[in-house]
Structure 1
Amino acid sequence: RKLYPKLVQDVQLMIKELENVTVLWEELWLSTLQDLHTDVTRRINLLKEEAARIAGNVTLSHSEKNKINASKYSAMMAPIIVALERRLDSTSRKPETPHEIWFNEAYMGQIKSAISNFKTPPASAAALGDVWRQFDTLAASLASYQRKSSVSLREVAPQLALVSSFDVPMPGLEKQTTLSESEDALATTPLGIVTIASFSEQVVILSTKTKPKKLVILGSDGQTYTYLLKGREDLRLDARIMQLLRAINGFLRSSRVTRAQSLGIRYYSVTPISGRAGLIQWVDNVVSIYSVFKSWQTRFQLAQQSALGTGSTKSSVPTPVPRPSDMFYGKIIPALKEKGIRRVISRRDWPHEVKRKVLLDLMKEAPKEILHQELWCASEGFKAFSTKIKRCFIINGLVPLFLHHFAYNCNKFYVFGSVAAMSMVGHILGLGDRHLDNILLDFCTGDIVHIDYNVCFDKGQRLKIPEIVPFRLTQTIEAALGLTGVEGTFRTNCEAVLGVLKKNKDIILMLLEVFVWDPLVEWTRGDFHDDAAIFGEERRGMELAVSLSLFASRVQELRVPLQYVS
């Protein structure tokens, strides 16, 4: 503070404003209502069953039945009311931005009215279906508003929009610690550091579940830097993992064998700004493998419709492609029914032969050459190679084919190294949750980029459905490795990477000790949950209170028949 008072002030302002942008109030409320909807529906159905049973009790008067139903309603809905009131408290502070003022005026009255009505037990069992209707209407309105793809920075962080020069260093840039060795320089400002000059006016809102924001920042060097502002997650673990990957990359580059094979890991910077948010460096020119699969699905569906003459006209709405979960359940449920098994049983109890048959059927439906073909089509991006080789080959008929084949092999060469290196490192780290949205591919270089390191150190083995594979190497990825598949170059690269990791195991273990002793990184915990949710011991305590209250209601319900018998 004494050396750089403006720097400290600017950092505090930036963190405060970015936290306001991270999760907007309408996003908090929509997420809360969507999370509660299924639980509320289940509780309403249970209350309807209880009300129907109580209605058949001839020993109770009408007023006693209403009293018992009201008591059960209050008990069953107590956890829901607590969650709603906590969310209300978190959004009831004085609005600090124009966007919060707008939300307060547009929705806060509706929210308070809906909570008040929800607390009041319905007059009859027939009205149980209407207790959540106000929240459904509210959620629909919020969802409609959130279809916006961007928001003005002046609306959500007005003080950041006014920034013309910050002393804050650009997040995530390496080698920015150069200071003059003289003591006089310590009393002034850091030298040679790229700082934040200003923020882009428009903040892009991505359409994924957590609604991360894409920020563009102008640096003091005149360059623009793009970041993903992600909230509702503790990114301190990701930041530690990136430091570890950076060190492992250094080991791979210092080894003659791995350096000759260009083996390395593609990583990115992660800068936590709080325990629930952070800035992630935006990686350009990459697409998720799921996007590649979905593009193939769309093309395949259009080709089928065209062949059958049932293609959509320009004015009609295109048929959406099925989601992977829909495809899976579309096959597993009929297969279970054939075996006389109901879907409601635990997934762990599903027969292995049924799951294996469904897996093989799904594998047959998706061609394994998807990535292979995409890499081939993207190989013409090697313009530098083309220019050099054209000078050596003059025959027009052979030049394009040779260049294309050469570029593809170069691309495939990097895929070999990238997949091998990250597979081995991911196995050592116990990295899980490797679904296709968490694996990105750079078609220009062939690099594999892994994102979301929230499930690591074998935490995936403790999930409800344990992850038991060491790394992802499905048929699609294996086919992209070429004719030799997992043998040949891929196996050699894996062995080389493991050799380097084993050689430097003492340093790696020392770096991993940080995860054991650092209290800031709770890697054993599950995904981050917001302050309105109820989990763990608190949830079990509330459910116990609900059970006791329902038991008391049942005793009251049976009191009259017992007195009559006695």
Structure 2
Amino acid sequence: IGSDSQHLIVFPAVAGSLTNKKDEYLFDSIPGKGFDCGDSFDEDFDVDAVINEQEEESALMQNCYASLVETLSQQNPQLISQTKTFVHELRRITVLWDEVWIGTLINHLGELKKQITSFETEIDKIKGNHLLTDEEKDLIIREKHNIVFRRVIYFLELTQLITSEAPETPHESWFQRCFSKSIADTIKVLQSPPDPSQPQQNLVAYQQLLQTIQKKAIMASNGRSQLVMDNISPVLAALENTVIPMPGLNVHSRTIGSNITIQRVCRTVTTLHTKTKPKKIVFFGSDGRAHTYLFKGHEDLHLDERIMQFLAIVNKMIVKYHNNKQERVHYRARHYSVTPLGNKSGLIQWVDGGQALYGLYKKWILNRDNSPPKTGQNQNTTITGLNDNAYKPSDIFNKKLAAKGVIGTNRSEWPSKVLVQVLEELVNETPVDLISKELWCASVNPYDYWRLNQTFTYSNAVMSMIGYIIGLGDRHLDNILLDLSTGEVIHIDYNICFEKGKTLRVPEKVSCRLTQNMVNAFGITGIEGTFRMSSEHILRVLRKGKETLLTLLEAFVYDPLIDWTPDHEEGYTGAIYGGARISELAKEGKLISKHQMEKENSEAIHKLNARIKQIERQNNWPKISADMSANRAEGQMNALEDITRNDSALVSAAKFVNHLNGSENEKSKHSSSAKNSSSVKRNTYATNVWKKVKMKLDGRDPDQNKKFSVIEQVNNVLKEAMDVENLALMYEGWTSWV
């Protein structure tokens, strides 16, 4: 392929050669290793051994990518040179420097507040310790301050290191002029505060920096969402008449001469106002058309890419197993091209005509609350719009919940009956025809409306059954688009897949979205009739083609590019330059890994605690000596009885002694097990994914000991998806009442 069809593999080859997969493990993905001042590092987890394994895998992959790039370079050096420049510059604008600082500060703000609260409690304990002198108390408070805030400082220093390099664009120069001093001053306050016993000053400095960057960033853009390409990447702005293939559009082309290439890049980039600030970018092709993409910088899109392949195969299967009685019915799963450009960045083909369902709901709320007053009401009342948060589903839900007297943040304590009541009230207050009205307004005549309505029903049946099979979650209103020209639904963001939704902080309880507005748009029969028969037809097709689907799934569940584990984390710093820059800085010796920082912090905790105990013993020695003389026999007897009663104490003591003696057997055992822990965990999860999908395709879900018919299986899925108690337990951002 590298010799004959370079355009088919140039992006994965170049992106892979510029990417180090271990970056996200080293700096963003060691789950469960954060700690407060009282935690200890897990001695049974040899992170160094796991990292060595990661490095070996990474080196192997790098060699493979290098071979591909070398072959491509021999065939077409201009293609490789231009593509490398193109990918590098796209990674530059993935997350701009002001965006990464705002994101990092917001991400760690909650952590900082918790640390301050915890530290204030520690300060009270230290100040109340009569065995310590005032000088010793001040020294211990300062040492504990350094330990408690080390983690937050680490991420700020890492971000500072990346954004302190020589600027290469006007935007980077502007950032350093405006914020370098403020950033350095804030980090200095966190590292060496004038009075460590007043940790609130850390929060003040931290929030001031966040507000400063946010305010100046808005002023610099004049409040607009558009960025000028000459400002953020002059290199991309200057690209003309390239041989770079248009991403995702040439997969069916066998020869490089027949594919569409990028002629130039649009001079403006639109930033979407969502949490991760993805960018809408336009490339003009050799076909004379403008091709729009969504450039995302905080997610690994390799999984999305594989799911698109899965959907394409399913569409071919649907055509193959087409029921003759339904020849006029057009079933298909709408998909789009996904081109990963690194561990945490990639291009997604823009879906023209797709409107997020959340937009329909938001528009209704705005129209409802901005509507003129009815006759008889005060005509002088000023009509004002809602604030930015008033129409957020979480705020609407929490307001209802508070009215029921439920205010606590611990969701496990929320009464299920109250949640059901809140859901029912919200359902009654929300129109059921938000979608059906949009379809009606998009129709030119009754037949056109019937056609859109039928297509909407078929499309939902296809995606509901596919979503059920692959365990697709996170189907909130922003992740489902409606194409009003065809009536089809388009699902986006497949990151929460293969039952990951059940492992979220608020576990998902349904396998597809069948809320009141969706069902109402199916027509007068609701889920009966067309929708149910279509769902049964699609599931029957999937079960017939299970061997093909399982073979395809098996091929990519073990893909080393995909992290299947549900506890995988994301980070802002790791998203810079597609996740590759951190590895370069580590190789240059300019920073240590996250696990090394936490290990050093854990050791500092042990040393400080031992030092405190030593000081307490020294200051209290006269009293201890007298007590020991009077109660030595009794104390020894009590100690012996305690140890005898508690076998675990003996085990812990033996383990601690072995650790102090440097037990080679234990160390070897831990190193060996830890070395395989990462791959074992990944393979175990991938195997479970495959087995779960196989159970569904075999008709043995939810009970693996019983084989269900297609009709029974569909009925179970629909019943679960429409169960009021299940919908009431869904996360409020999912808006189960719409």
List aligned pairs for 1:253-264, cutoff 5 A. Answer: 253-257=319-323, 260-264=328-332
Question: How far did residue 227 of structure 1 move?
Answer: 0.7
1: CA distance, partners of 2:622 / 2:520 = 77
The equivalent residue for 1:335 is 404
The equivalent residue for 1:230 is 296
- The residue type equivalent to 2:420 in the other structure is R
Establish whether residue 103 from structure 1 lines up as the match of residue 144 from structure 2: no
1: CA distance, partners of 2:169 / 2:381 = 45
The equivalent residue for 1:361 is 425
List aligned pairs for 1:507-546, cutoff 5 A. Answer: 507-525=548-566, 526-531=568-573, 544=602
SS in 1 for 2:75: coil
2: CA distance, partners of 1:203 / 1:503 = 45
1: CA distance, partners of 2:118 / 2:231 = 44
1: CA distance, partners of 2:174 / 2:618 = 55
SS in 2 for 1:512: helix
On the 8 A contact 1:17/1:160 being kept in 2, the answer is yes
List aligned pairs for 1:119-198, cutoff 5 A. Answer: 119-123=191-195, 125=197, 127-144=198-215, 145-146=217-218, 147-179=223-255, 190-198=256-264
Moved more, 196-205 or 129-138: 129-138
On the 8 A contact 2:280/2:292 being kept in 1, the answer is yes
Question: How far did residue 334 of structure 1 move?
Answer: 4.8
2: CA distance, partners of 1:312 / 1:275 = 54
On the 8 A contact 1:10/1:168 being kept in 2, the answer is yes
The equivalent residue for 1:386 is none
SS in 2 for 1:226: strand
User: Per-residue displacement from partner, 1:356-376 (whole Å, max 9, x unpaired)?
Assistant: 222222222212222122222
Establish whether residue 499 from structure 1 lines up as the match of residue 499 from structure 2: no
User: Per-residue displacement from partner, 1:95-150 (whole Å, max 9, x unpaired)?
Assistant: 2222112212221222122212210144263x422223233222112222144411
Question: How far did residue 15 of structure 1 move?
Answer: 0.2
Structure 1 pair 430/150, CA: closer, same or farther in 2 (3 Å)? same
Structure 1 pair 210/420, CA: closer, same or farther in 2 (3 Å)? same
The equivalent residue for 1:565 is 623
2: CA distance, partners of 1:379 / 1:559 = 84
Query: 113, 131, 134: which one pairs with 1:41?
Result: 113
SS in 2 for 1:151: strand
Asked which structure has the greater RCO (Cα within 8 Å, sep 6+), the reply is 2
Moved more, 548-557 or 270-279: 548-557
SS in 2 for 1:431: coil
Structure 1 pair 376/564, CA: closer, same or farther in 2 (3 Å)? farther
- The residue type equivalent to 2:334 in the other structure is R
- The residue type equivalent to 1:233 in the other structure is E
2: CA distance, partners of 1:355 / 1:276 = 37
The equivalent residue for 1:75 is 147
User: Per-residue displacement from partner, 1:254-279 (whole Å, max 9, x unpaired)?
Assistant: 33326531111111111111121111
Query: 487, 493, 497: which one pairs with 1:452?
Result: 493
Moved more, 133-142 or 224-233: 133-142
- The residue type equivalent to 1:173 in the other structure is L
Question: How far did residue 310 of structure 1 move?
Answer: 7.6
Query: 208, 220, 224: which one pairs with 2:286?
Result: 220
Query: 58, 82, 96: which one pairs with 1:24?
Result: 96
Question: How far did residue 64 of structure 1 move?
Answer: 2.6
Question: How far did residue 23 of structure 1 move?
Answer: 0.7
On the 8 A contact 1:60/1:560 being kept in 2, the answer is no
2: CA distance, partners of 1:209 / 1:201 = 24
Query: 297, 316, 326: which one pairs with 2:365?
Result: 297
Question: How far did residue 56 of structure 1 move?
Answer: 4.2
- The residue type equivalent to 1:230 in the other structure is K
2: CA distance, partners of 1:535 / 1:406 = 63
Question: How far did residue 544 of structure 1 move?
Answer: 4.8
Unaligned runs of 5+ in 2: 1-72, 576-591, 625-738
Structure 1 pair 196/376, CA: closer, same or farther in 2 (3 Å)? same
Structure 1 pair 322/562, CA: closer, same or farther in 2 (3 Å)? farther
TM-score normalised per structure 1: 0.86
Aligned length: 526
User: Per-residue displacement from partner, 1:201-235 (whole Å, max 9, x unpaired)?
Assistant: 11111111111111111111111111111102111
On the 8 A contact 2:357/2:480 being kept in 1, the answer is yes
Question: How far did residue 306 of structure 1 move?
Answer: 5.7
Question: How far did residue 162 of structure 1 move?
Answer: 0.9
- The residue type equivalent to 1:194 in the other structure is I
The equivalent residue for 2:506 is 465
On the 8 A contact 2:502/2:509 being kept in 1, the answer is yes
2: CA distance, partners of 1:420 / 1:510 = 24
The equivalent residue for 1:383 is none
- The residue type equivalent to 1:506 in the other structure is E
On the 8 A contact 1:84/1:532 being kept in 2, the answer is no
2: CA distance, partners of 1:191 / 1:317 = 55
2: CA distance, partners of 1:311 / 1:249 = 58
Structure 1 pair 406/538, CA: closer, same or farther in 2 (3 Å)? farther
2: CA distance, partners of 1:201 / 1:88 = 29
On the 8 A contact 1:71/1:553 being kept in 2, the answer is no
Identity, % of aligned positions: 36
Establish whether residue 426 from structure 1 lines up as the match of residue 491 from structure 2: no
Structure 1 pair 532/108, CA: closer, same or farther in 2 (3 Å)? farther
Establish whether residue 203 from structure 1 lines up as the match of residue 269 from structure 2: yes
Root-mean-square deviation (Å): 2.7
User: Per-residue displacement from partner, 1:1-23 (whole Å, max 9, x unpaired)?
Assistant: 11111011111010001000111
Question: How far did residue 539 of structure 1 move?
Answer: 8.9
On the 8 A contact 2:104/2:572 being kept in 1, the answer is no
Query: 135, 138, 145: which one pairs with 1:63?
Result: 135
1: CA distance, partners of 2:273 / 2:555 = 35
Unaligned runs of 5+ in 1: 180-189, 381-402
2: CA distance, partners of 1:437 / 1:539 = 38
Question: How far did residue 542 of structure 1 move?
Answer: 7.2
Question: How far did residue 413 of structure 1 move?
Answer: 0.7
Question: How far did residue 249 of structure 1 move?
Answer: 1.2
Question: How far did residue 343 of structure 1 move?
Answer: 1.8
Structure 1 pair 357/552, CA: closer, same or farther in 2 (3 Å)? farther
Moved more, 550-559 or 104-113: 550-559
User: Per-residue displacement from partner, 1:331-361 (whole Å, max 9, x unpaired)?
Assistant: 3345364xxxx7244x234332222222222
SS in 1 for 2:331: coil
Structure 1 pair 535/45, CA: closer, same or farther in 2 (3 Å)? farther
1: CA distance, partners of 2:273 / 2:76 = 39
1: CA distance, partners of 2:416 / 2:519 = 24
User: Per-residue displacement from partner, 1:401-454 (whole Å, max 9, x unpaired)?
Assistant: xx2x32221110111111000000111111011111111111221110100000
TM-score normalised per structure 2: 0.67
Structure 1 pair 517/10, CA: closer, same or farther in 2 (3 Å)? same
The equivalent residue for 1:555 is 613
Establish whether residue 245 from structure 1 lines up as the match of residue 295 from structure 2: no
